[in-house]
Chains A and B, each alone.
Chain A
Amino acid sequence: MTRFACITMFTMALLVPCLGAQGEMRFPPPEFESGYQFPQTTHPPTARSALYEYIDAALLLVALLLASQLILRKRSRRAIFVLMIAALFYFGFWREGCICPIGAIQNVTLTAFDSSYAIPLAAAAFFVIPLVFTLFNGRVFCGAVCPLGAIQDAVLIHPVRVPPWLESGLRLLAYTYLGAAVLFAAIGSAFLICRYDPFVGFFRLSGNWNILTLGASLLVIGLFVGRPYCRFLCPYGVILRQLSRLSKRRVTITPSECIKCRLCEDACPFGAIREPTEDWPEGEFKIAKRRLVLFLVLLPVLIAAGGWAGSSLKERLARVHPRVRTAERVYLEESGQVTGTTNASDAFRTTGQTSETLYQDATEIRNRFATGGALLGAFIGFVAGGKLVALSVRRRRMDYEADPASCFACGRCYKYCPKEHERLKKITGTVAGH
C-alpha cells in the first residue's frame, strides 16, 4: 500500500464520519514485509498487593490496643501524644490517609445497598474495629489513632472556649454530614466524605486547591479551636460519640476520687469537662418541666418538618447524581432551551441509548432521593429535637467528669488532678478538697 492510498483512505474516513462507533477498524492493520513484530500494548504494572491491607488492619488493631493501655492504664499524655504522632505518620502521611474509618462509612453503606459492590476488607475492618473499641474503652480511636484528629491536635496551641450553645449548634453540621454521606453513598451517586476530606491533600502532599484551602483553614481555626473537624464535622465522630456514652471503661479525670478542687475545670480544650450539678432552685423546676414537655411535643413536629423539607429538596439532591445531571442537560438541549452540547451529553449520545431511557432513569433516581431526602430530613429533625430535649433534662453529677460523648480521650486533663500527682508519687501525703 502506498502513502497515497493511505491518505486516500483517510479522506474516505473523513467522508463517512458516521462510522463513529469506537473500535471500528477503518484501516486494516498492515501486513509487514520487513518481519516487524507487534510490540505488546503495555507492560502493566500491577496494583498494590492486598497483603498491605491486612497489615494496615493489624496495625490499626495494635494501635488501638496500645492506645487503650496508654489512655486508661498508664494515663500518660506524653505517651498518648507519641502514639498519636506515630499514627499520623503511618495512617496519614505514609498510607496517605486512605482508607480511613470516616470514609469507610460509605463503603459499608454501599455494601448494604448495592449487592454488586464488594467492600475491600480493609474498609470493613477500619469501620468496625474502632466501633468495637469505643464500646469497650471510649473514644480511644479519636484520641490517639485517627490521623485526621492527630493533625488537628498537633497544631492546637491556644485553645479558646466555645460557648456550649454554639458547640451544640455546630455539631448539628456533623449529623447532617453523616446523614448526607450515607444518603449519597446508598443511592450510589457520590462518596461525599472522600470528596470533601480536608486533610487528605496534606497527607498526599498534593490535591486540588479548594480542598487544600479548606484543610488549611481548618488547621488555622484549629490553632485556637481544638479539633474543629472532629467536633463539628466528623461523621464518624458522631457515631463514636453515641457509642462512647455506653462504653464499659472510659477516661476519668481523677484516678481515684474527685475532691472537687476545680483545678481541672479549664483543662479540656474541647469543652468536655462537666461540672457537678446543683439542685434546681425553687420555682425553676416547674418551668423546666414545662419546657421539657414543650420540647417533647416539638420533637415529632421537627421530625415531620425535616422530612417534608428533605423530600422537597429531592430535585437538588438528585442533581449530585451524574445520570440525573446528564438527563437534565439532554432535556434542555432537546427542548431547544440551550444551544451546543456538553461532554456529558455527547458521551450519552455515543452510547446510542434513547433519551427516554435516560429520563426514566433520572425519574427513578429522583424518586429514590425523595424517600432518602425525607429520611435525611427526618433524621436531622430528630437530632435537633433530641438535642433540645437532652438540654432541658438535668442529670445529677456529683464530681467533675469528662463527658463520655465529647471526650476525645486525649489525656490532657490527667495532670491537672492533684490525685493524679499523688498516684504518680510526685507529692507526698494525701490531698484533700474543700
Chain B
Amino acid sequence: MANSNKEDMTRRKFLREGLWGACLAGAGTAAGLSVARNNRDNTVWQIDPYKCIACGNCATYCVLEHSAVKCVQAYAICGYCDLCTGYLVPEPKALDTGAENELCPTGAIKRAYVEDPYYEYTIDESLCNGCGKCVKGCMAFGNGSLFLQVRHDRCKNCNECAIAAACPSQAYQRVPTDQPYLLKGVDAKE
C-alpha cells in the first residue's frame, strides 16, 4: 500500500482522511468564492418604480403585518392638480377632502392648498399600507409622481422577499445598501 510507512494507516482510514480533506477544501472554496464575489456592497430589496404596475400585492404579501412598502411623492414631478387622480376616486361627488371622495382606503394622503389652482399632496406614512391605489391612479392619468418604495427602517431584508416572489412585473430587485432607494424625478440620484 502507498502509505504503509505509517503502521496504523489502513485503507479505510486513508480514504476517510482524504475525503475529510476534500470536504474541508470544498468548504474553503465556497468561502473563497464568496469573499471574491463580495467586492460589491451588500444589498437590500427595492422596487423599480418604472416597472411597478401598482397591483396591490405589496400591501398583502409582506411578511410584516403592516407592509414595509409605502407610497412616496416625488414633488418635483407632481402636477399639483386640483383634480388629482391619485387622491380622488374616479368621478368624485365633489373636489373636497370628504372621505367618500378619497381614493386612499386609509386616508393617508393629505391635501393642502398652495395657491390657486394648486394643491400639495403629502403621504402620511404612518397610515399608508402600500396598496398602491393612488399610484395606479396617478400613473394612469397623472404625472406618475406617486410611487411605491420599500422603507428600510421597516423592511426585514428577508433572504427572499415574499413580495418579490409575488410581484407580477418583477419590479423588485436587490440594490446596493448605500443607495437603497430608487426614486423618480429630480430626486433620483442618476
Q: Taking beta carbons and an 8 Å cutoff, which residues of A are in contact with B?
A: 1-3, 5-7, 10, 13-14, 17, 22-30, 32-34, 36, 38-42, 44-48, 50, 53, 96, 98-99, 103-104, 106-108, 111-112, 115, 117-121, 123-124, 127-128, 131-132, 135, 190-191, 194-195, 200-201, 204, 206-208, 243, 246, 248, 322-323, 326, 342-344, 346-348, 350-351
Given A118-B40, A201-B63, A347:B153 Cβ within 8 A? no
Interface string of B20-35 (1 = CB under 8 A from A): 1001100110110111
Among A1, A206, A347, contact of B64 (Cβ-Cβ < 8 Å): A206
Identify B118's interface contact among A32, A96, A111, CB under 8 A. A32
B87 in contact (CB, < 8 A): no
Q: Which residue of A lies closest to B41 (CB)?
A: A118
Report Cα–Cα, A150/B83, bound state, in Å. 57
| 28 A-B contact pairs sorted by A residue (CB < 8 Å) | A10-B83, A22-B139, A22-B144, A23-B77, A23-B144, A24-B143, A26-B141, A34-B115, A41-B72, A41-B75, A42-B72, A45-B153, A46-B180, A53-B42, A98-B156, A108-B33, A119-B34, A119-B37, A206-B65, A243-B23, A322-B168, A322-B170, A343-B169, A344-B169, A346-B168, A347-B168, A347-B171, A348-B169
Complex Cα gap A351–B80 (Å): 28
Roughly how many angstroms separate A85 CA and B49 CA in the complex, as a whole number? 43
Q: A46 is contacted by which of B64, B152, B185 (Cβ under 8 Å)?
A: B152
Q: Report B118 CB to chain A, min CB distance, Å.
A: 5
A contact residues around B37 at 8 Å (CB) = 111, 115, 117-119
Q: Which residues of B contact A48 (CB under 8 A)?
A: 152, 157
B20/A246 in contact, CB under 8 A:
yes
Query: Which B residues between 123 and 165 are near A, CB-CB below 8 angstroms?
Result: 139-144, 149, 151-153, 155-160, 162, 165
> Which residues of the other chain, B, contact A14 by a CB distance below 8 angstroms?
141
Rounded to whole angstroms, the CA-CA distance of A96 and B37 in the bound complex is: 26
Asked if residues A127 and B30 are in contact (CB atoms below 8 Å), the reply is yes
Contact bitstring B155-189, A, C-beta under 8 A = 1, else 0: 11111101001011111001001001101110100
Across the interface, do B64 and A98 meet the contact criterion of CB distance under 8 Å?
A: no
B24, B33, B83: the one contacting A135 at CB < 8 Å is: B24
Interface membership of B2, Cβ < 8 A: no
Residue B16 contacts which of A44, A45, A118, A246 (CB distance < 8 angstroms)? A246
Contact between chains at A25 and B77 (CB < 8 Å):
yes
A42–B181 touching, CB < 8 Å: yes
A227 to B144, CA, bound (A): 51
B89 within 8 A of A: no
> Are B63's CB and A190's CB within 8 A?
no
Which chain B positions have C-beta within 8 A of A342?
168
Are A98 and B159 neighbours in the complex by a CB distance under 8 Å?
yes
> Quick one: given A24-B144, A98-B159, A124-B30, are A343 and B63 in contact (CB under 8 Å)?
no
Q: In whole Å, how far is A186's beta carbon from the nearest beta carbon of chain B?
A: 14
